[in-house]
Amino acid sequence: MSSLLAILDAADAQPAAVTLRARSYELLGDLTDRTVVDAGCGGGRAAAELAERGARAVGVDRDAEMIAVARERWPAGEFHVGDAYELPLETGSVAGYRADKVLHTLDDPVRAVAEARRVLAPGGRAVLLGQDWDTLAIDSDEPETTRRLVHAKADSLPSPRVARRYRNLLLDAGFTDPVVEVHTIVFTDDTALAMLQRITDEQSWLAEQAERARTNRIFVAVPMFLVAAQG
């Protein structure tokens, strides 16, 4: 848990990631004094930032340890252990729904988007954000091995390519006026190596990446898919 949190914290601190989170908040619209749910909130950073913008932000995550971390880090926040399929919220009770790097972890993203539709009030907005695990760009002297390892990691996830489906998932659930953006986050520091170590334990390949990190030559680019729509 601590190693994952450290990687998440480092990635969240990247200037491009800060900008991307801010853009996701903008696409939710004006939430001043209105309720927004951050599904799969993890350590609670986004919920805290939404609260700073004047929203009543509710963070929900199925991992009780993550919720404990969120409550410790952001004691003024509202955090609940809960499931993206069954949010602990009344029907039509929120003005905004946000899910960041969540749907690829689910076996049934369609059900999660239907749940987002349930909790949103008429005219509320949903924002989905995440990576397509087949589109990671990694510089390597072994492109075929890199391709194999990226695809193997993707295939180990429940819904690795769901980000390219965000727009259609929202439309199929009855949302309207989707806005689609793609933002690429580039990692060229030790954060990149830590990320790659969570993709594979193949030591010969990681050794090359570690040498790249040592000589300031590591390069990982992650296209992030951002889609917003109205309920």
Give the mean model confidence (pLDDT) for residues 195-216: 96
102 near 39, Cβ under 8 Å? yes
- Phi and psi at residue 160, to the nearest 5°: -70, -25
Cβ atoms of 219 and 138 within 8 Å: the answer is yes
Domain 2-132+158-184+223-230, CATH class in plain words = alpha beta
Question: What's this model's pTM, rounded to 2 decimal places?
Answer: 0.94
**10-31 b/e with 16+ CB inside 10 Å = b?**
bbbeeeebeebbebbbebbbeb
* 178 within 8 A of 219, measured Cβ to Cβ: no
Is the C-alpha dihedral spanning 178, 124, 23, 75 positive or negative? negative
Summarised one tens digit per residue, pLDDT across range 124-170 is: 999 999 999 999 999 999 999 999 999 999 999 999 999 999 999 99
**Residue boundaries of the structural domains of the chain:** 2-132+158-184+223-230
Mean pLDDT value of segment 173-191: 96
The predicted-structure confidence for 8-63, as pLDDT tens digits, reads as follows 788 888 898 999 999 999 999 999 999 999 999 999 999 999 999 999 999 999 99
| Residues 6 or more apart whose Cβ sits within 8 Å of residue 50 | 25, 28, 31, 36, 38, 57, 98
Q: What's the sign of the alpha-carbon dihedral 118, 158, 196, 183?
A: negative
In whole angstroms, what separates CA 113 from the centre of its chain? Answer: 14
Angle at 146 between CA 163 and CA 162, to 5 degrees: 10
Quote the percentage of the chain above a pLDDT of 70: 99
Return the structure tokens found at 4: 């994952």
Give the C-alpha separation, 51 to 141, whole Å: 45
Backbone angles phi, psi at 79, to 5 degrees: -130, 140
Confidence of residue 1 (pLDDT cuts 50, 70, 90): low
Q: Within 109-202, where are the H helices?
A: 109-119, 143-155, 166-172, 190-199
Distances (CA, A) of 60 to 93, 111, 146, 168: 15, 16, 35, 24
- Residue 61 tokens read as 């995550």
